[in-house]
Amino acid sequence: MKNTILTGDRPTGRLHLGHYVGSLKKRVEMQADPNNELYIMIADMQALTDNAKNPEKVSSNVLEVALDYLAVGLDPSKTTLFIQSQIPQLAELTMYFLNLVSVGRVRRNPTVKSEIEQKNFGEGVPTGFFIYPVSQAADITAFKANLVPVGEDQKPMLEQTQEIVHSFNNIYKPVLVEPKAVLPPKGMGRLPGIDGNGKMSKSLGNGIYIADSADVIKKKVMSMYTDPNHIHVEDPGQVEGNMVFTYLDVFGTDKEYIAKLKDNYRRGGLGDVKIKRYLIDVLEAEFAPIRTKREELAKDPAAIMEILQKGSQQAEMVAAQTLAQVKEAMGIAYFS
């Protein structure tokens, strides 16, 4: 059975290692399965819901996100890469879906509630931001995606889509596909920031980026949060909560050697500088080829935009078919 998968990212900055671990690597794996049809959206409309007064922040990062996609191995001949704002059918679907959702239901969405609090919107929350779970439902259903990769914190958003699909199919005709969540493996959903605080985030400035140079990665790793009580090399150190070991667990391939480092660190006699240097080597082994490919791709931005244009045209054709079915089901396909 063929799966249709939709996922994407907001273009508010370059993608970091949290994106790489949490979603990008999995997308490349999904792409390799001939039973998967993969749509990846650069969600610029969604990004504008809380950046409307700074649109350049969004538009300037569309190319950056596309470069990250291609550099990690996403292939436009196998995966449809497209820009959300170039698919007008998504906005029309959103309007129809809004009529199936109450203000109270959107307000109860825990993801929306927490993000409104994080951004200190209060009563000044933009309406577009407030209703973006409904917009996400339009994105997903337009391509009849049956699988949607999400983190644990995004499950309520997908549940909202499932409710909308159920309502639409019951009220009108069963033309929409109800999606299921694809959750990351336990412990792989989030990569903490280098400061040890929460997840790696563009807004917090605590990330290592796919595009970072070797020198920048080295500088960031050397500033990483470790064990504040591990003052001298001979002092016993704590591995849990130590970001260097957290990253080694994720990116290191020599698990036996990493286990020995942990034992040595706990006993005392192993300095932070040594383990940080090892992590730098591990990250370079993983990301140097990706960085080189990205730098080469960046020499021809017009070619990247052409890829996105073709992908957007392909995506629009699919979304248009779904919209036609939706309007027919609702009885508003007046001239078809």
pLDDT of residue 196: 86
Give 298-327 as a DSSP string.
TT-HHHHHHHHHHHHHHHHHHHHHHHHHHH
The answer to whether residues 37 and 1 touch, using CB atoms and an 8 Å cutoff, is: no
Stretch 10-34: mean pLDDT? 95
HSE (side-chain half, CA atoms, 13 Å) at 249: 14
Output the pLDDT for position 189: 62
E strands, the chain, where? 3-9, 36-42, 79-83, 147-149, 180-182
Percent of the chain with pLDDT over 70: 99
73-92: per-residue pLDDT in tens? 999 999 999 999 999 999 99
Residue whose pair of structure tokens reads 């070619």 in the numeric block: 303
Least confident interval from 192-206, 226-240, 320-334: 192-206
What contacts 152, CB < 8 A, 6 or more positions away?
183, 189
Please give the Cα distance from 269 to 272 (Å, whole number): 10
Comparing CA positions, the residue from 273, 228, 278, 233 lying closest to residue 258 is: 278
Q: Tell whether the model's pLDDT for residue 188 goes beyond 70.
A: no
**What pLDDT band is residue 208 in, cutting at 50, 70 and 90?**
very high
Residue 34 has pLDDT above 80, yes or no: yes
Q: Distance (Å, rounded) from C-alpha 192 to C-alpha 209?
A: 13
Query: pTM value?
Result: 0.94
Average pLDDT for the chain: 94
Tens-digit pLDDT profile for residues 115-172: 899 888 988 999 999 999 999 999 999 999 999 998 888 889 999 999 999 999 999 9
Confidence band (pLDDT; 50, 70, 90) for 1? Answer: confident
Helix (H) / strand (E) containing 127: helix 127-130
Short-list 124, 138, 121, 130, CA closest to 85: 138
Contacts by 99-103, CB closer than 8 A, 24 or more apart: 100/164, 100/167, 100/168, 100/171, 101/131, 101/134, 101/160, 101/163, 101/164
Longest CA–CA separation in the chain, Å: 80
Q: What is the mean pLDDT of residues 316-329?
A: 98
